[in-house]
Structure 1
């Protein structure tokens, strides 16, 4: 208990420095939230017990740890495929640190210290830390460039490595109180400050994340040079000369979001993961500096992404060639890429957009991504993964990059290690506070304690979400106190499939939601998608928030040509798909009658317990024969956890 209390004090002191502008809304930190959730808690525990240990083991067996050992000895040959493989260790350390903050583990703590020692020995005297060059500076891998930083705007990933080092170091420090990794990161960051800036080297980082990381280090140390450097890196975009008439994104700058200054950009372009980290970094810097042009730019880009460039299950980055965004409405199903890391980045960005604006639409997108495009990236066993997240698998596979089955590891294994660092932090996305306003953004069974008007208030959620829409919130102030409880009314309750016209629910009679306090109807206001209950709260007050769990058909904007005449299915926050294992090995030829009714039943015996959808359907074979069948659908996140086979999210609709 003393250990956890120390962490709370540390976070209170260092998560946000005291005397500067920041987001107007504060997220409640992950380790101040105690989960009691049947859906997310087992996944976080699987991450602790399986994903993190497996990731560390694979970092050792694949040579990622060996690269650091060779860099320390300055002897050998870089032995993995990619110059950013160092980050797999950093990301897993970050996830393990978050886990330690909630689940103290002496053995894991000691193992992290041993890894930090390995990392420290690989760092050069001036702070440079990049094993691909340090092992043999005269013969670095081709992506590295012959000298430091010369290929950074392209593919060297030197600053990307620094970014993940810093992210891991701050997480480790905040979780353990130890400075051994933080000191390494500060030494590296100080080298960046000495190297880049006005009248020094200028570069737009080729793979963003160092911007977010430097802001985080600024918050932890109050050293303004880190914040200034983050903004400097962002402002270097659009200064390099490209052939802007060339449609090749590697030649016109779009792949790196380097085609225009950031304040002039209005479209989500290029490598989707890079883009998410850039836009999240812009939000961070805008919050801290008050830069209105940054905010205007990311507002425009967000509108473009959500109205023209997002798949129905929240996936982004449609184009396999470059893992990037396509043109507006370029969302084909057969070649959908949807990298897991892009989904994680999309959660980071939407959380920050909410903290800037206080609008539930950002949490609506975040929730769709969390329960679908992101969660599908890790198997139920915690040690099998998707790098890409397909929209359909027909006859086993659709294109060379589509994954019809999960893998234990990848040569480029950014997604598994990114998942290991994200999942333990999920409790930090549930609650937020703005003075005397408390936001409940995600419906995850949990509790947290807050200070409101100098009073301690405990908030407890109990529910069986996402299977059930009956949500219960208990409010326990030490003394009666007045504040507003802001309950997000999800877009899917308000007949909004996504906050744009890209997808919409097919016309059905909408069921009403209900909200009561202590068993009685209560007055409330609607504000930016929130049910706002403003009252004096007393200990033991109980809120019932009942959301109708209708099965809803989704149709796509007519400009999405692949989806014409088709429907997809959503219930609550979950998208559904059909797998051949549940449907006699047939998926591609199934059509759903336009007047079909859907039955939703919980099935505890499969896939760790899921709601299945069943409906009458038609199997139309190539010969023209029609057979009446019963179609079974499962949540999209759960597909490919049993056997390899066909899958689809969109079904043709029969008249």
Structure 2
């Protein structure tokens, strides 16, 4: 634990999870993983050292913090800000900062969080209710699209975001509790959750309804896992069970995935962020309850998304209208939405699916999303952001929240604060464990201590991934143990685990595995190099995934990508920017083109791809050098 012992703190043993998660595989927690990686550590530190402070200042500037004080009568005034979910920006900052505290204890930051928690507490009503705009002026929401004809609590749940606010509160409080052992924020969340249990569900006097924007479900499940209180789990399942149930409430429709019951849904539709948050909760229920109907539904939904509705960058959500999934194969480039929050939610969902099934395909999606369509949402200076992540820019097209250039903030600032929430948790994706098996999911220089019950296994990993595919491990164990090293999808000649995209050329590389300096024959089994042996102290493993520039073609049903190719190198999708290519609109590529890969100092050190007609940079790094044209998909040479 970090910080000083106070009466509001509890012992470390009491802070452990109270209930089993229900998952067969457990991620190795970030408190046991120290990242030393030259690619990921600077991104994590940028968020820790710059973006968190920047976002807190923005929240102060735009009145996010004042709203709690106004709601609690400590300040005078009307609601500040334009969104009914502005409270959640503060919660997400606390969650990200708490994840940061787990891996990098910082007394000054912990003190800042205590002050934020104290401000939040001021805005909570005596019965636990906490949505500041409704407390300040129940009949006057900050956004005109929030319809509240009665002007009271819970009126207009489709867009009031009262339950969404609660969900982010619970998520943040759970992480803060884990990071500090303090109950100050957790008690605020539990008081609110108890109000929800008393207010919603079956029974006399209770409201039968579901949230318009999902996330309260996963938040309630996290509180259940901390406290063991079944009522939280029951309410989460109630909210899911009654989506698409017209006998329960007036349906919100496909926009909110409230058109048919969740167990009957087999196509990803509507608002993409709402969708993946809901699918994550459904996966939790499938795991905890061993619910085969929920499991079948999430599998069907995942198959539809990965086979028909995912961009080559791992982004999801084709339409600006409704921030929504489009029809099957509707994947435009210039007008692609690909909200950063949706990419983050998709990683959360796929991580749960891997915890449930252990299938390599889920981390193939996670890796593609992480390196491309997710970190593209954060600038290299840590203070500018993408809300949508388009795959083409003409330097002109703009939506209501930008497309052709990064912005310093947004009226709806969910994406910047979600990046803060997510990035410090990345170390928790690298390794997983199950009984006597360790999974190596991602390749990033790191040291991990993994408790398998009978012993603690230490693993150190050194690599320059994603710039090359050589990875070295030292494994300290004195017993029999299975280690499963994921062979990335691009090495197995898969763009995605579907036919949505395919490599247009032949991969000449062969992945290899060596133990203590001797190359051994090892076939790829279910996407893994699987090594079972009686380990000795300082046993070494060397993996090599040779990287080549690859060309990618899209499924014939994706209209915008026909007659075009995209470029990849290892896990990275590449893009051409006008700043490097004066005649960008004249560029064409061929499957037979020869490329040069060069490590450069530009853009904080990237591998560029070039030939006589083009120079390409990793997609995630575009729009860090001013407004200019950009393309991922390039016309194929005729």
Q: How does 1:9-408 map to 2 (within 5 A)?
A: 14=15, 16-18=17-19, 20=20, 22-73=22-73, 75-141=76-142, 143=146, 145=148, 146-152=151-157, 154-199=158-203, 200-240=206-246, 253-397=253-397, 402-408=402-408
- Once the two structures are superposed, residues 412-450 of structure 1 have per-residue CA deviations (whole angstroms, 9 ceiling, x without a partner) of 000000001101100000000010110000001101112
1:457 Cα deviation after fit: 1.2
User: CA 1:151–1:544 in structure 2 vs 1: closer, same or farther (change >3 Å)?
Assistant: same
1:224 Cα deviation after fit: 1.3
**Following the alignment from structure 1 to structure 2, what is the Cα–Cα distance between the partners of residues 226 and 495?**
44
Q: Which residue of 2 aligns with 1:637?
A: 620
Shifted more, 362-371 versus 395-404: the winner is 395-404
**8 A Cα contact 1:472 1:545, kept in partner:** yes
**8 A Cα contact 1:394 1:587, kept in partner:** no
- The count of corresponding residues between Structure 1 and Structure 2 is 628
- Once the two structures are superposed, residues 476-525 of structure 1 have per-residue CA deviations (whole angstroms, 9 ceiling, x without a partner) of 12xx2001110001110011000000000013143111001011133545
**Following the alignment from structure 2 to structure 1, what is the Cα–Cα distance between the partners of residues 346 and 259?**
21
- Once the two structures are superposed, residues 161-194 of structure 1 have per-residue CA deviations (whole angstroms, 9 ceiling, x without a partner) of 0011111111111111111111000000000010
Q: Which residue of 1 aligns with 2:529?
A: 531
**Following the alignment from structure 1 to structure 2, what is the Cα–Cα distance between the partners of residues 21 and 105?**
29
What is the SS of the residue equivalent to 2:635? strand
1:144 Cα deviation after fit: 6.1
Q: Which residue of 1 aligns with 2:516?
A: 518
**8 A Cα contact 1:523 1:533, kept in partner:** no
**8 A Cα contact 1:367 1:573, kept in partner:** yes
**Following the alignment from structure 2 to structure 1, what is the Cα–Cα distance between the partners of residues 542 and 4?**
32
**Following the alignment from structure 1 to structure 2, what is the Cα–Cα distance between the partners of residues 194 and 468?**
55
Q: Which residue of 2 aligns with 1:589?
A: 586
Q: Which residue of 1 aligns with 2:409?
A: 409
Equivalent position to 2:571, from 570, 573, 582: 573
1:590 Cα deviation after fit: 1.4
- Once the two structures are superposed, residues 287-319 of structure 1 have per-residue CA deviations (whole angstroms, 9 ceiling, x without a partner) of 111111111000000000000000111110000
Q: Which residue of 1 aligns with 2:542?
A: 544
Shifted more, 131-140 versus 439-448: the winner is 131-140
Equivalent position to 1:505, from 499, 503, 506: 503
User: CA 1:577–1:113 in structure 2 vs 1: closer, same or farther (change >3 Å)?
Assistant: same
**Following the alignment from structure 2 to structure 1, what is the Cα–Cα distance between the partners of residues 499 and 23?**
29
**8 A Cα contact 1:337 1:402, kept in partner:** no
What is the SS of the residue equivalent to 2:83? coil
User: CA 1:201–1:484 in structure 2 vs 1: closer, same or farther (change >3 Å)?
Assistant: same
- Once the two structures are superposed, residues 216-242 of structure 1 have per-residue CA deviations (whole angstroms, 9 ceiling, x without a partner) of 111111111111111111111011389
User: CA 1:149–1:453 in structure 2 vs 1: closer, same or farther (change >3 Å)?
Assistant: closer
**Following the alignment from structure 2 to structure 1, what is the Cα–Cα distance between the partners of residues 270 and 140?**
30
1:614 is the counterpart of 2:610 = yes
Q: Which residue of 2 aligns with 1:623?
A: none
Shifted more, 325-334 versus 388-397: the winner is 388-397
Runs of 4+, deviation exceeding 4 Å? 1-6, 9-15, 398-402
1:397 Cα deviation after fit: 2.6
Q: Which residue of 1 aligns with 2:635?
A: 652
**8 A Cα contact 1:383 1:408, kept in partner:** yes
What is the SS of the residue equivalent to 2:474? strand
**Following the alignment from structure 1 to structure 2, what is the Cα–Cα distance between the partners of residues 381 and 239?**
47
1:531 Cα deviation after fit: 1.1
**8 A Cα contact 1:242 1:252, kept in partner:** no
1:347 Cα deviation after fit: 0.5
**Following the alignment from structure 1 to structure 2, what is the Cα–Cα distance between the partners of residues 551 and 14?**
48
**Following the alignment from structure 1 to structure 2, what is the Cα–Cα distance between the partners of residues 597 and 93?**
48
What is the SS of the residue equivalent to 1:275? helix
**Following the alignment from structure 2 to structure 1, what is the Cα–Cα distance between the partners of residues 423 and 13?**
22
**Following the alignment from structure 1 to structure 2, what is the Cα–Cα distance between the partners of residues 649 and 32?**
37
Q: Which residue of 2 aligns with 1:620?
A: none
Q: Any stretches of 5+ residues in structure 1 without a counterpart? A: 244-249, 617-629
What is the SS of the residue equivalent to 1:282? helix
Superposition TM-score, scaled by structure 2 size: 0.95
Q: Which residue of 2 aligns with 1:475?
A: 475
Superposition TM-score, scaled by structure 1 size: 0.93
1:384 Cα deviation after fit: 0.5
**Following the alignment from structure 2 to structure 1, what is the Cα–Cα distance between the partners of residues 40 and 89?**
24
1:528 Cα deviation after fit: 2.6
1:140 Cα deviation after fit: 4.1
What is the SS of the residue equivalent to 1:267? coil
- Once the two structures are superposed, residues 316-335 of structure 1 have per-residue CA deviations (whole angstroms, 9 ceiling, x without a partner) of 00000010000000111121
1:4 Cα deviation after fit: 12
1:3 Cα deviation after fit: 6.2
1:490 is the counterpart of 2:496 = no
**Following the alignment from structure 1 to structure 2, what is the Cα–Cα distance between the partners of residues 431 and 408?**
34
What is the SS of the residue equivalent to 2:608? strand
**Following the alignment from structure 2 to structure 1, what is the Cα–Cα distance between the partners of residues 284 and 405?**
37
1:150 Cα deviation after fit: 2.3
